[in-house]
Structure 1
Amino acid sequence: MHHTQTDLKAQASQGVGARVERKEDARHLHGRGQFVADMHMPELSEVAFLRSPFAHARITASQRPEAGGEQVAFRADMADVLDIVAESMLPTYQASAQPPLAAGKVRFVGEPVAMAWAPTRAEAEDIAETIAIDFEDLPVYADVATSQAATEEFIHEGWQHHNFLTLKADTKFDELAAQAKLVVTRRMDLARHCMVPMEGKAVLAYWDHQADMLVVYTATQVPHMIRTILAKCLGMDQGQVRVVAPDVGGAFGYKCVLQQEELCVAWLAKTYRKPFRFLEDRREHLIAGANTREHHYEMTAYADERGRILALDAHIVIDGGAYSVWPFTIGLEPGQAVGNLPGPYAFRGYRCTTECVATNKPGFVPYRGVARTGVCFAIELTIDAVARAVGREPWEVRLDNLVPVELMPYVNVTNKHFDSGDYPASLRKAHEMIGFEAVRERQRQGEPDGRLIGLGFASYTEQSAHGTSVFAAWGTPVIPGHDSATVRVTPDGGLEVRVGVHSHGQGMETSFAQIAHEVLGVDIMRIRVVHGDTAQTPYSTGTYASRSLVMSGGAVSRACKVIAPRIRHIAAHMLGCKPEDTDLMNGRVFGPGGSVSIAEVAEAWYLKPQLLPADVDAAGLETTAGFKPKVDTGSFTYASHAVTVAVDTETGHVEILDYVIVEDCGTMVNPLIVEGQTYGGIAQGIGTALYEETPYDTNGQPLASTLADYMLPGATEVPRMRIHHFETPSPHTEFGAKGMGEGGAIAPPAAIFNAVNDAIRGLGAEVAQTPLSPRRLLEALARAEEAAASQARRAA
């Protein structure tokens, strides 16, 4: 049978491609969300941590307070708990052992040294403040230079140097660099900053006496992996540990690793058989929360006379902080950097050395865009520098270097499998949307207020849903395989969809319902998506790397496709026809002489089995199915961003006047959600570019410990954005969908800096260090003015 046009439109209104409002928003907008902080439980104790005031010091003595000492724990009290150790198979890698509470020494300001608990957080903090700890100073390694120069008193015992690891790549570099007519060198630096989700770390654990089980409610992206490592560190069977991720108020990578506090609170619940909770406050997050983004680049491009890059030589140094996190290890950041630095470009000569260095700062944790924001910044500023050197428009040089559409699918110089798309078309469209010629004319005419106008572009690829082979090469402790989904038709014809990933703002409850609707036609309001509970969902490594929609969404599709013929088989018997003569759409099965609803089929299976055919599938109306893409090196989303800025050379202020995005994430399951994810990511990218920084002094003391010091973009700093979608389906995924959760955060720093450099090029100035604060911009202009004056004096 065939769908009618009307039927197809009705199905598309909720299925793949529909702009469906998010189901989960109803409870959040009405204040009915269930976050860890919303939970109440008899005998609940709140936990506070005493944190180190020193970046690197020995603990020479510790003493419990006289009042409340029985409500205090040190590392020595947790002798049955293992340290957090993230091993890696990468060559040169040095592992670090991270104790749940500092033992013997502290390695960054804010490291937990002891914990106290009481009926309220205030009382627990009062007890923690009376704990006596004596410290003996050790040399502080507050940056990569001092850390790499160390010859003794290393951060970790048994180490002989401070490099977590060093990665190298070399492909045809010497051969192709020798052919170059032009060599351009630049240095770029990205500042360290925090993730700043609306909800910080949050964990509540208790002992379920009926089930004889440790139950841990935690704000995490990866509940199944947290169960795995908690059980290991606590010496328990995984079957005796249940991890539940309730509503999670943002994560961005911050909550995809095991936190020390999670392990400590779980131990308290296991030991005392009572409920305990820890809620991170904003100051704790800014001081001791995971840091990210601190990359340093030395880039040398070898190009022909028109700016076509033949070879690239790069040296990347990453400040990895004090600990390598579980499970992804510190190796994820340099691994992504060396692999993704070439971006969407087609050059074939490449040499790169990436060093990840331990320092006395909080451990480096994956953050939205993992390394790709940095590498995009580096390669895109290099492209513009090459364009200036050859006297061409940067967008034209960028266009010449992009992988041509006729070469797709394309395997690039670092063996990334670009599966589908038209990279040059996205740049051309961004060029059109930003009004390139009009902006150039505006520059020529000048602004009445004296500000300088600049125009910048940036293009990138986002490797999403990469799987087994990629993570196996990185040698992480947990390697993703197939993701699974369980789908069950309820007795009244609704659907239960169970997935092992977890949502922290991505709209999965809506998107997965749309995928199930696409296959089975059940109204999405009758589809319940269950996630975040290890006791109720199939195993998944979780939500990270823009993988959930492709992996678990693919599994939902496959499971529904297993159930669909079972429904049609039962319905055909009820309709007196053959299954092949039926059609399933909009929640009904149509035959030549009539139709029955899925609800009627479900009633027959569950409640009226006398209506079933003799050869009915005994597996019934539920199944579990797995999925991973045909090529597990990932599906590649891509985009081009273009931005127009106005630069005030008197105050150093940068205003974003216009921002356009041309993106292609394959088939969009829900364009409304895609755009929301993109806009949110761009807001974070603007923060990276212009505002966010966690500076440290030479003693390793953080200098931005409140939101008065740590600047975030607000509503007035995020411009109105215009977005255009291409949809080039991936040949390797269900529905051709690609992941896109990180893309928005990748390109903005590069596009904004290129726009600012375009604005100030006539002054001989150039900027390449984030964030571009007014002070940094004015200093760059002053240096350019001084250099010009010096040159003039020499000429005279």
Structure 2
Amino acid sequence: MSDKGIGASVPRKEDTRHLHGRGQFVSDLRFHGLRDVAFVRSPVAHGWLRSVDIPEELRGNVFLASDFPDVLPLRAVPEVAGFRPSVFPGLATDKVRFVGQPIAMCVGSSRAEAEDIAQMVFPEIDEMPAACDTLKALEPDAPRIHDDWDENVFIRKSVEAGDIDIARKNASVVIERTYRMNRQAGVPLEGRAILAHWDHRLDELAVYNSSQFPHQIRAGMAQFLQIEERQLHVIAPDVGGGFGVKNILYPEELMVAALARKLRQPVRWIEDRREHFLASIHCREHVHKIKAYADDKGRILGLDAEVYVDAGAYSHWPNSPFMETGMAAKNIPGPYRVENYRCHTLTVCTNKSPIGPYRGVARPAACFTIERTIDEIARAVGREPHEVRMENMVRPAEMPYRSVTNLLYDNGDYAKSVQMAADLIDFDSVRARQKSPEPDGRLIGVGFATYTEQTAHGCGEWVTRGTPVIPGFESATARLMTDGTLMLLVGIQSHGQGLETTLAQVAHHELSLDPDRISVRHGDSTLSPFGMGTFASRSMVMAGGAVAKSCRLLRTKMADIAAHLLQCEPAQVEFRNGAACGPQGEVSFQELGRIAHLRQDGLPLSTDPTLEATTTYQPGIDTGVFCYSTQVAVVAVDPDTGYVEILDYGVVEDCGTIVNPRIVDGQIQGGVAQGIGTALYEEIPYDDFGQPLATTFADYLMPGATEVPMIKIAHMMTPAEHTEYGMKGMGEGGAISPPAAIANAIRDALAPIGAQLNETPMTPRRVHEAVRHARMMQQEAAQ
């Protein structure tokens, strides 16, 4: 390992511009004649849109769906039997189905003027009853959201393996629980943003979009705008976070692009926070009902589950919301040896903003379900929860292991991660502390949670899921310039992951060129080779693999030229410190670049000029590779107020070979912070009329610096066998375990009272209510 290659904590290249305020986001862009857009949105959750009243003097500034007859509604149809696709219009036509749904676009010389115009536009809506509760929406008399559906369900699916009846008959312990994870928003630092204009010189629509997958946005926009894809140029400049929220094509984005095409002048829309809470995709709303069967030692014999996901009013493009239930069902067994399993899933349609991907996609809820259940099994048999975990886990000798839901765990030592996590927080000292009362009356608890995370899925895995778009590969171009510097053009999109740094480290590993002499270009659908985007913990494995392959191809050609110049065999050429070295001398990269591009007379015969290589990369295993982690929380709970403080937090992570440890640790810390938000703070509740009750930061709480503790991190590095360098993805992992670990810690703290919490966020009100209920039950039992 060099001090700048794979395994080195190289400072992030991106930080220089961002720390100096020189980043360039969509809202920083300026074009002559730029106009701003504000949307008129539905004030009700469900109703017939009868008309839109537009003052006569404003008609040239207000646009309805009828003004865009050629724009198709958003529609994603997965290849999954029984799926009911929805039609999501860019602007509402006959019906509105959630509060915040766009109805009209208003254009002004500034955002303020556009909003003033929007205030004078009045949609006439015949309001109807709304279906807002996940389970009540399934009742026969619930309001029907899509009139041609016979029930408010996108899809029902089941997974079954083994014999759950035998597990039930042989069980000494039966644990039955209902777990609920409530609705959240993604809340990236930069909201959604789009600027579009018609480029007359190139005869194309240029779209600047804060997106995680610009190439897919181009494909989707071209389809729904009915424009030739060659005339659509999508650029993602600096992107201020995404977390999955920017991994779909939104109706607002589609309509702003359509407006720019219609007006032939620049228009933009910058989302404000209220719009984000109202109408961006939401996430996390799951209800899981589970029965777990175990023997008298706590060994799991079988799991019987029902999974309900509130998907909101519409399915989104490209892959619709059905993956939430599918991933939950596949991941509930977690890292454990479960032989008998049954899971029924329903993706429910309600009058809420559509649900979509957010860091972890269904796995936080799956982890919450299995990890809370493991703790309850352990308590039922009178054993330490972390010991019961370790005994139930897949063992290293059993790897590769095919899980009961057909996931192939490639390698690792899950039980060791639990023990290491216990050591991080000095488990024995926490147990000793619990034996004496705290001076302030608070109760101390410790909780564990382990997950396995499927990363860098290949083509075959996505095919089995039935996704309309299969993100099974990534691309990269490596180009040596005439001065010996390197340009990497990648289809991946970086929005905080540090990919400009880590991909340069991969190139350094292959070519020995200093990362400061390597530029990484991404986010431009015309400049970069086609790529699928950043999501699903795939970026470093996929894009890193593509960069490695393209650099090796480039290196082969460079070695041929160098060998010709150095009068040796190509196999004798080594690359060191930005030069090609042979037995009798060396030639600089600058000289190689000059000869290949500017002085072809110096090339060996039959060698093509220029030094450039483009390739694609797919992992060597379709199912992807599995990282895993155990997280442990130590909390103090005030039983009188319900307030929870995190006293200590540890993470043991195995993501295979680590390219940049500093960046990996940063990803873990950021993920844990978001997981703490899910566990304790973040929620968008709805009332019975479908009105969201958290539309500002006054109502929607997020953890800040004082709520996130110093996180202790330890690494286990088990290289993957099917990826370049043994890398595994890990970007989502930090956010998966915290809700379960913290819930188990609270349960442990409240064990003397008998209270437990099975719903997130575990707010002071919910904790206090659980304590009050447990104390009331104790009093009734005493009587």
Q: Measure, in 1, the Cα distance between the counterparts of 2:476 and 2:150.
A: 46
Task: Give 1:572-651 correspondences, 5 Å limit.
Answer: 572-616=563-607, 618=608, 620-651=610-641
Give the C-alpha shift of residue 663 in structure 1. Answer: 0.2
Q: Measure, in 2, the Cα distance between the counterparts of 1:194 and 1:150.
A: 30
Classify the secondary structure of the residue corresponding to 2:435.
helix
Q: Measure, in 2, the Cα distance between the counterparts of 1:587 and 1:299.
A: 59
Q: Measure, in 2, the Cα distance between the counterparts of 1:671 and 1:116.
A: 47
Aligned counterpart in structure 2 of residue 779 of structure 1, from 769, 772, 775:
769
Which amino acid is 1:65 matched to?
P
Q: Which residue of 2 aligns with 1:47?
A: 37
Q: Measure, in 1, the Cα distance between the counterparts of 2:424 and 2:125.
A: 59
Classify the secondary structure of the residue corresponding to 1:366.
coil
Question: Is 1:334 aligned to 2:330, yes or no?
Answer: no
Q: Which residue of 1 aligns with 2:407?
A: 416
Aligned counterpart in structure 1 of residue 246 of structure 2, from 255, 264, 272:
255
CA contact (8 A) 2:248 2:316 kept: yes
Tell which deviates more after alignment, 417-426 or 671-680. 417-426
Q: Which residue of 2 aligns with 1:734?
A: 724
Paired positions, count: 782
Tell which deviates more after alignment, 533-542 or 602-611. 602-611
Aligned counterpart in structure 2 of residue 318 of structure 1, from 292, 297, 309:
309
CA contact (8 A) 1:454 1:758 kept: yes
Question: Can you list the C-alpha shifts for 1:443-468, whole angstroms capped at 9, x where unaligned?
Answer: 00221111111000000011111121
TM-score by structure 2 length?
0.99
Classify the secondary structure of the residue corresponding to 1:67.
helix
Q: Which residue of 2 aligns with 1:82?
A: 72
Aligned counterpart in structure 2 of residue 168 of structure 1, from 158, 172, 186:
158
TM-score by structure 1 length?
0.97
Q: Which residue of 2 aligns with 1:566?
A: 557
Q: Measure, in 2, the Cα distance between the counterparts of 1:599 and 1:299.
A: 64
Tell which deviates more after alignment, 72-81 or 144-153. 144-153
Q: Which runs of 4+ in 1 moved over 6 A?
A: none
Q: Which residue of 2 aligns with 1:510?
A: 501
Q: Which residue of 1 aligns with 2:381?
A: 390
Gaps of 5+ in 1: 1-8
Classify the secondary structure of the residue corresponding to 2:751.
helix
Q: Measure, in 1, the Cα distance between the counterparts of 2:735 and 2:511.
A: 35
Q: Which residue of 1 aligns with 2:468?
A: 477
Q: Measure, in 2, the Cα distance between the counterparts of 1:495 and 1:177.
A: 62
Task: Give 1:254-273 correspondences, 5 Å limit.
Answer: 254-273=245-264
Give the C-alpha shift of residue 586 in structure 1. Answer: 2.5
Task: Give 1:47-126 correspondences, 5 Å limit.
Answer: 47-126=37-116
Q: Which residue of 2 aligns with 1:449?
A: 440
Question: Can you list the C-alpha shifts for 1:294-332, whole angstroms capped at 9, x where unaligned?
Answer: 101111111111101011111111111001110121111
Q: Measure, in 2, the Cα distance between the counterparts of 1:548 and 1:436.
A: 35
Question: Is 1:792 aligned to 2:782, yes or no?
Answer: yes
Classify the secondary structure of the residue corresponding to 1:680.
helix
Give the C-alpha shift of residue 532 in structure 1. Answer: 0.5
Which amino acid is 2:123 matched to?
I
Classify the secondary structure of the residue corresponding to 2:310.
strand
Q: Which residue of 1 aligns with 2:269?
A: 278
Q: Which residue of 2 aligns with 1:3?
A: none
Q: Measure, in 2, the Cα distance between the counterparts of 1:206 and 1:28.
A: 26
Question: Can you list the C-alpha shifts for 1:705-740, whole angstroms capped at 9, x where unaligned?
Answer: 110110000000000011001111110100100111
Question: Is 1:145 aligned to 2:135, yes or no?
Answer: yes
Classify the secondary structure of the residue corresponding to 1:97.
coil
Q: Which residue of 2 aligns with 1:213?
A: 204
Tell which deviates more after alignment, 473-482 or 664-673. 473-482
CA contact (8 A) 2:138 2:151 kept: yes
Classify the secondary structure of the residue corresponding to 1:356.
strand
Question: Can you list the C-alpha shifts for 1:52-108, whole angstroms capped at 9, x where unaligned?
Answer: 110001111212222322110111111111000010111221100000011111000
Give the C-alpha shift of residue 152 in structure 1. Answer: 7.1
Q: Which residue of 2 aligns with 1:362?
A: 353
Question: Is 1:406 aligned to 2:390, yes or no?
Answer: no
Gaps of 5+ in 2: none
Question: Can you list the C-alpha shifts for 1:483-532, whole angstroms capped at 9, x where unaligned?
Answer: 11111100111111111110110001001101111001111111111111
Give the C-alpha shift of residue 612 in structure 1. Answer: 2.0
Classify the secondary structure of the residue corresponding to 1:642.
strand
Classify the secondary structure of the residue corresponding to 2:750.
helix
CA contact (8 A) 1:171 1:350 kept: yes
Give the C-alpha shift of residue 619 in structure 1. Answer: 6.2
Q: Measure, in 1, the Cα distance between the counterparts of 2:166 and 2:638.
A: 45
Classify the secondary structure of the residue corresponding to 2:692.
coil
Q: Which residue of 1 aligns with 2:456?
A: 465
Which amino acid is 1:247 matched to?
D
Give the C-alpha shift of residue 583 in structure 1. Answer: 1.3
Q: Which residue of 1 aligns with 2:669?
A: 679
Q: Which residue of 1 aligns with 2:540?
A: 549
Which amino acid is 1:548 matched to?
S
Classify the secondary structure of the residue corresponding to 2:8.
coil
CA contact (8 A) 1:463 1:635 kept: yes
Q: Measure, in 1, the Cα distance between the counterparts of 2:567 and 2:79.
A: 60
Question: Can you list the C-alpha shifts for 1:571-614, whole angstroms capped at 9, x where unaligned?
Answer: 11211211122212322222112222222211221222222222
Q: Measure, in 2, the Cα distance between the counterparts of 1:619 and 1:690.
A: 60
Percentage of pairs with the same residue = 50
Q: Measure, in 1, the Cα distance between the counterparts of 2:708 and 2:113.
A: 40
Which amino acid is 1:546 matched to?
S
Q: Measure, in 2, the Cα distance between the counterparts of 1:646 and 1:152.
A: 42
Give the C-alpha shift of residue 482 in structure 1. Answer: 2.6
Classify the secondary structure of the residue corresponding to 1:332.
helix
Which amino acid is 1:424 matched to?
A
CA contact (8 A) 1:471 1:479 kept: yes
Give the C-alpha shift of residue 151 in structure 1. Answer: 4.2
Q: Which residue of 1 aligns with 2:226?
A: 235
Classify the secondary structure of the residue corresponding to 2:546.
helix
CA contact (8 A) 2:182 2:285 kept: yes
Give the C-alpha shift of residue 150 in structure 1. Answer: 4.2
Q: Which residue of 2 aligns with 1:660?
A: 650
Q: Measure, in 1, the Cα distance between the counterparts of 2:563 and 2:548.
A: 22
Tell which deviates more after alignment, 180-189 or 658-667. 180-189
Question: Is 1:522 aligned to 2:513, yes or no?
Answer: yes
